[in-house]
Structure 1
Amino acid sequence: MTHPATRRTVLLATGGATAALVAGCSNYGDDSNDSGDSGKKSSGAAAGTALAKTTDIPVGGGKIFKDQKVVVTQPTKGDFKAFSAVCTHQGCTVGTVADGTINCPCHKSEFRIADGSVAAGPAPSPLPAEQITVKGDSIELT
């Protein structure tokens, strides 16, 4: 005599598959639950990559390096910042830097050039910072 499956036995039997499906639905690169630094660059660019000369980055603006997926800004003279060029809304590459913001063309999210924070949505979080080094007049990704 066999017993029909109950809701409980079905849930227990598929628990592992359900967990795998839920994990498979998470966003690539979503660090919201990561309590530590994974050691991976969000841009995927190689360390030590020379990006630009300091004179290539306008004061109060910035420049997007699409191949390295990095945007470098100069909020004030001599203060250089770098952020991922991948929008935190849906993964589009940002398209312009103007009027103190880094702008995504896909859904019009805007990020402040000084700290990558969201100036206008729908982006849910700031652009992740990237590490750069200024050596003389050269800016390198570190």
Structure 2
Amino acid sequence: MTSASIKPVPTPARRTVVAAAGAAGLAVALTACGGSDDDTSGSSASAGTSGSSGSTGGSGSADTGGAAADGALTTTAEIPEGGGKVFEAQKVVVTQPAAGEFKAFSAVCTHQGCAVKSIADGVINCPCHNSNFSITDGSVQSGPATKPLPEVQITVSGDAITLA
């Protein structure tokens, strides 16, 4: 009769474990940060939670709901003068820089693709890295973003604002 020998299971070398942990950590960090300044695709923009956040500083807010009645995105009365409103589901921000003048821009930050969240003091704010954009033309007011928010075409008919 022979006795079965039990072989110990080899354990990975310390370097292998450290390298694997480092690679996994790097992958998580890169995924969380999104793209680069050249990435304007909005791959990591927030999507459709329900409800609506309140006004931020009295000059802007985020809206996670759908469109207004009759297929309109919103009404002119919903966009404060000197401020604006973020429409998360449509990934657009609508502003009113001066009375009766309405502009729209992508709500995807040009720095790393985060969704802008608020409008205050004449600027559109990205919470991820604190980039700020003009409500008038989408230009960068403070970085790290280096490119303006792309303009989005809208149509204002009566008091209805629709995406063109």
- The two structures have a TM-score, normalised by structure 1, of 0.67
Larger radius of gyration: 2
The correspondence for 1:116, drawn from 138, 142, 151, is 138
- Cα distance between partner residues in 2 of 1:76 and 1:136: 17
- Cα distance between partner residues in 2 of 1:28 and 1:64: 17
What is the match of residue 25 of structure 2?
A: none
Shift of residue 53 of structure 1? 0.5
Q: RMSD over aligned Cα, in angstroms? A: 2.1
1:59 aligns with 2:81: yes
- Cα distance between partner residues in 2 of 1:29 and 1:113: 21
Q: What does the per-residue CA deviation read over 1:67-104, in whole Å, with 9 as the maximum and x for residues that have no partner?
A: 00000000000000000000000000001001000000
- Does the 8 Å contact 1:49/1:141 carry over to 2? no
- Cα distance between partner residues in 1 of 2:40 and 2:123: 25
What is the match of residue 162 of structure 2?
A: 140
- Does the 8 Å contact 2:134/2:141 carry over to 1? yes
Number of residue-to-residue matches in the alignment? 101
Shift of residue 119 of structure 1? 0.2
- Cα distance between partner residues in 2 of 1:28 and 1:52: 24
What is the match of residue 41 of structure 2?
A: 29
Unaligned segments of structure 2, at least 5 residues: 1-35, 43-69
- Cα distance between partner residues in 2 of 1:76 and 1:49: 25
Unaligned segments of structure 1, at least 5 residues: 1-24, 31-47
Identity fraction in percent: 62
The correspondence for 2:111, drawn from 47, 69, 89, is 89
- Does the 8 Å contact 2:92/2:105 carry over to 1? yes
Shift of residue 63 of structure 1? 0.2
Shift of residue 27 of structure 1? 3.9
What is the match of residue 128 of structure 1?
A: 150
